[in-house]
Amino acid sequence: MTATDLLVQQIINGVSLGAMYALIALGFTLVYGIMELINFSHFNVFMVGSYIALYVLEAFGISGQSTLMSGWPLVGVLVVALLVAMVGCGFLGVVIERLSLRPLRGVKGPSAMITTIGVSYILFNLVLLFLGTDTKNYPNPLPPLTFAIGGAVLRLREILIWVISLALMAGLYVFTRRSKMGKAMRATAQDPDAARMMGVEVDRVIMTAFFLGSALAGAGGMIFGLYYNFTSFVIGYSAGLRAFTAAVLGGIGNVPGAMLGGMIIGLIETLSGQVVAVRWTDVIIFSLLVLVLVFRPAGLLGRVAPNKS
């Protein structure tokens, strides 16, 4: 591989990772935009999603390098796995919100954020307790079809990841722009009290935000498994933190910002692994996070709210 090929290859990989980070980042952003809450439980909702999709795939007999299915049946199973992971995570998100966050509505200070840290710990340790510490292999059911771009290789896997992510993000965008609930969400994000007085049921809006955000994280969880061919109870923290950085980078609370931030983080991850060293990748990403917050706290696309007094 020449240097250019390597660069192209890392960009392909980076965009795939970026799409996954963007999906997770959207969950952070949706909730933050409406409640101004950093939802740490989201990290492990994502992790649970990758397990759910794995078990659905295994239930259909797809495991390892299986070529059991191909064509439309395979597409069907992948879609089912994706949907089950998304709906499962969506409900998990709603339950978390209902049980641990709704009672804290209106409580000032860091209580809600600390609660989500606790919920995140609970999810993490429940998976650890019941599913064990070992890393689980993820199936790679796709036919080994590849396209050569110069010396770089574009696999069917990457294309699948891009298609899923694009479709979901486009869907979310249309939902927030066109639907009635989407309008209510945007209104609540601007001013919850005014929205409430205009007849918006803020509790339902929050529930929807948790459902959508968690569902996207579930999709992200499946993509993680397909990309890396494994899943483990520890993936929530590292991937979640990078996705969170993506959300902040793009401007937390800002939907297109989360997508942009995800792409940037994905590319930084693969390119810095290439240029510097993988072991410094996290330092680069977190330094970037600190720098963005210090010099442009609203992120790349966000706006700073004026100081109210």
Partner 1 sequence: MSIASTLGRPFASMAPARRRSAATCAVALIAIIFPLIHGDDADIDSLANALSYAALALGLNIVVGMAGLLDLGYAAFFAIGAYVYGVLSSFQLQPDWSSFWEPFAFLGLVARMPGQGAVDVVHTTLSFWLALPLAGAVAAGCGIVFGAPTLRLRGDYLAIVTLGFGEIVPIVARNWTSVTNGASGLNGVAPPSIFGTSFGVDATPYYYVIVALVAALIFVSLRLRDSRIGRAWMAIREDEIAAGAMGVNLVRYKLLAFAIGASFAGMAGTFYVSKLQTATPEMFGFPVSVMILVMVVLGGMGSVWGVVLGAMVLQLLQSWFLPDLTDWLHQLGALIGNDAMQKIDLVQSIELIFGIVLVLMMLYRRDGLIPAHRKEAALTFEQQHAVVERVTAFALPGIAPPTARGKPLLEIKDITVRFGGLVALNSMTLTVPEGGVLAVIGPNGSGKSTLFNVITGLTPPASGSIRFGGKDITGLPSHQILQTGLARTFQNIRLFPNLSVMDNVLVGAHSRMQSGAVRSILRLPATKREELMARERVMEILSLFGNRLVPRVNQAVGNLSYANRRRVEIARALASGPRLLMLDEPTAGMNPAETMELAEQLKQLHTLGLSILVIEHKLDVVTRLADTVVVLDHGEKLTEGLPDEVRRNEAVLDAYLGRAHAAVKDIAVA
What residues line the site for partner 1 (CB under 8 A)? Answer: 36-38, 100, 103-104, 107, 109-115, 117-122, 124-126, 129, 237, 241, 244-245, 248, 279-280, 282-283, 286-287, 289-290, 293-294, 297, 306-307, 309
Q: Minimum CB separation from partner 1 for residue 117, in Å?
A: 6
Chain center to CA of 225:
13
Contact predicate 227/204, CB 8 Å: no
Contact predicate 88/52, CB 8 Å: yes
Nearer to partner 1, 189 or 226 (CB): 189
Q: Minimum CB separation from partner 1 for residue 32, in Å?
A: 8
Q: Minimum CB separation from partner 1 for residue 217, in Å?
A: 18
Residue 242 C-beta-side C-alpha neighbours within 13 Å: 28
Residue 245 C-beta-side C-alpha neighbours within 13 Å: 25
Nearer to partner 1, 62 or 112 (CB): 112
In the chain, the N- to C-terminal Cα span, in Å, equals 59
Nearer to partner 1, 11 or 288 (CB): 288
Nearer to partner 1, 145 or 278 (CB): 278
Q: Minimum CB separation from partner 1 for residue 261, in Å?
A: 13
Q: Minimum CB separation from partner 1 for residue 255, in Å?
A: 19
Q: Which of 70, 44, 61 is nearest to 224 (CA)?
A: 44
Between CA 22 and CA 250 the distance in angstroms is 10
Q: Which of 163, 159, 172 is nearest to 209 (CA)?
A: 172
Q: Minimum CB separation from partner 1 for residue 285, in Å?
A: 8
Nearer to partner 1, 114 or 170 (CB): 114
Nearer to partner 1, 69 or 117 (CB): 117
Instruction: At 245, list the tokens.
Output: 């950085």
Contact predicate 33/253, CB 8 Å: yes
Q: Minimum CB separation from partner 1 for residue 208, in Å?
A: 22
Nearer to partner 1, 81 or 249 (CB): 249
3-state helix, strand and coil shares in percent for the chain, rounded to the nearest 5: 75, 5, 20
Between CA 266 and CA 2 the distance in angstroms is 22
